[in-house]
Amino acid sequence: MTKKLLFATSNRGKEKEIRRILSGLQGWELSFLDGFAGKIDPPEETGKDYEENAALKAIHYGTMAGGRFVAAEDSGLSVDALDGAPGVFSARYEGLSEDRDKAGALLEAMKGFPADKRKARFVAVVCLLSPDGKKRFFRGSVEGTIPGSARGEGGFGYDPVFIPEGFDRTFAEMSADEKDRLSHRRKALEKLKELLVEKA
């Protein structure tokens, strides 16, 4: 019997990545929030960390899931020199909403920092909420650095201002497949996928 999973994101960039990474998942019917447009407002993300925000979103959207499993994700970019900022505030850094503006604000905040002070990491946490209310968490991260300027046209969010460790290109300069192999979101989703395979 096919089980149903609602992945609670309205971010089109994330949805594309999630569809790619969870493709081929047997025994599950995957849906996204666009199938519930206008039925429920997004929650206020008040958690102190990625786990709390992911759980908050999963529980919030679980109210309309109709017996489905619900997965929700929270992710962000943490820069050591900025004491971990933007972190859980990555989606609303400096009160900005456009990806290009947020990336620009981050580059401005990093002006003057030498190469050895530009370490950063992307972190993603997925919360899986079962119909019985049980929560499971899956975390992934990737280390890297912040370049001096935005580079590349691919990806979304902070991809143009993040160079993964061991590479000289930003995520935005990589193909979708290449980024997926390295990304924090893939690492978290692969752990989720393992559990879903067991439950199918």
Of 34, 49, 74, 99, the active-site residue reads: 74
Q: Which helix (H) or strand (E) holds 74?
A: strand 69-79
- Is there a catalytic annotation at residue 116? no
Q: In a 10 Å sphere around its CB, with 0-12 CB exposed, 13-18 middle and 19+ buried, how is residue 35 labelled?
A: exposed
Q: In what order do the strands lie in the sheet with 28-32?
A: 28-32, 3-7, 69-79, 119-129, 135-145, 163-164
The tokens describing 22, both together, are 């969870």
Q: Are 28 and 55 in contact (CB under 8 A)?
A: no
Q: CA dihedral defined by 91, 95, 101, 106, rounded to 10 degrees?
A: -80
d(CA 101, CA 160): 12
Q: What's the distance, Cα to Cα, between the start and end of the chain in Å?
A: 8
Residues with catalytic roles: 74
